[in-house]
Amino acid sequence: MAEKSESSRDAILAAARREFAARGYAGARMEAIARRAGINKAMLFYYFSSKEKLYQTILHEVMSEFFTQISGLVTTELTPALFMEKFPELYIRLCADHPDFVRIVAFDLIHNPDNICAVMAGIISQMTSFQPHPLFELIKRWHEKGLISEADPIHFMMNIVSLSIFSFIGKPMVEAISGIRVASDKDFYRKRVTSVVNVLKQGMLK
């Protein structure tokens, strides 16, 4: 019985993730989530008392996954060069493997930044393995030692994150404008990593 209940809950979460990713919060339909999960709509409200609550659960799940993965990076003996290699590598793979996550987070960043920022802050404060402040201090020291050219850690990170993530949102746009369609997504993202790492190391390493 516990099994059945678990499978229902999981089915709901999986279906909800897809639906929210595909249509955004306002566009998502509880009915559609139920159908996708192969259950009755009333079940949704049995397991999750409201649309809002279901959404927050998903959001939390998604963000946790991301931060857990990233925390693995920062523990290493970090050099700027290593960081600029490993971060895009990890981030681009992560986004490519979980396209739904990117859409959900991006949507919330655009339309509900306060909420998602609160969720992030909550997750970070609960994690013992990853605290961002030391990372930003480290970046500052890298510049003081003359290892990197960008003095402001915010812009340093922004450059890395931009190059890593944006293609997942902007790819269709660049394709539409250029008229060039990338042949295979897998190849595209592999090439993306090398291009990003090159630009970063050449562009920000002193």
Partner DNA sequence: GAATGGTTTAACCATATGGTTAATATAACA
Partner DNA sequence: TGTTATATTAACCATATGGTTAAACCATTC
Q: How far is the CB of 63 from DNA (least distance, A)?
A: 21
CA distance 156 to 144: 14
Q: Which of 124, 127, 138, 147 binds a second copy (CB under 8 A)?
A: 124
CA 177 from centroid of its chain's CA atoms = 26
Q: Which of 7, 27, 40, 53 binds a second copy (CB under 8 A)?
A: 27
CA 46 from centroid of its chain's CA atoms = 29
Element counts in the chain: helices (H) and strands (E)? 10, 0
Residues 6 or more apart in contact with residue 161 via CB below 8 angstroms:
91
Residue 158, binding choice from DNA, a second copy, none, Cβ under 5 to 8 Å by partner class: a second copy
CA distance 34 to 68: 29
Residue 40, binding choice from a second copy, DNA, none, Cβ under 5 to 8 Å by partner class: DNA
- Encode burial over 19-39: b for 16+ CB neighbours within 10 A, e otherwise: bbbeebbeebebebbbebbeb
Residue 154, binding choice from DNA, a second copy, none, Cβ under 5 to 8 Å by partner class: a second copy
| Residue 42 vs 177, nearer CB to DNA | 42
| Residue 43 vs 78, nearer CB to DNA | 43
Candidate segments 7-15, 50-58, 85-93, 103-111, binder of a second copy by CB under 8 A: 103-111
Contact set with DNA (CB under 7 A): 1-2, 4-5, 8, 28-31, 39-43, 45-46, 49-52
Q: How far is the CB of 6 from a second copy (least distance, A)?
A: 31
| Residue 29 vs 186, nearer CB to DNA | 29
Closest CA to 28 of 103, 138, 98: 103
CA distance 170 to 155: 20
| Residue 7 exposure: Cα atoms within 13 Å on the Cβ side | 6
Interacting residue ranges for a second copy, rule: CB under 8 A: 22-27, 103, 105-107, 109-111, 113-114, 116-117, 120-121, 124, 132-133, 136, 149-150, 152-155, 157-159, 161-163, 165-167, 169-180, 182, 191-192, 195-196, 198-204
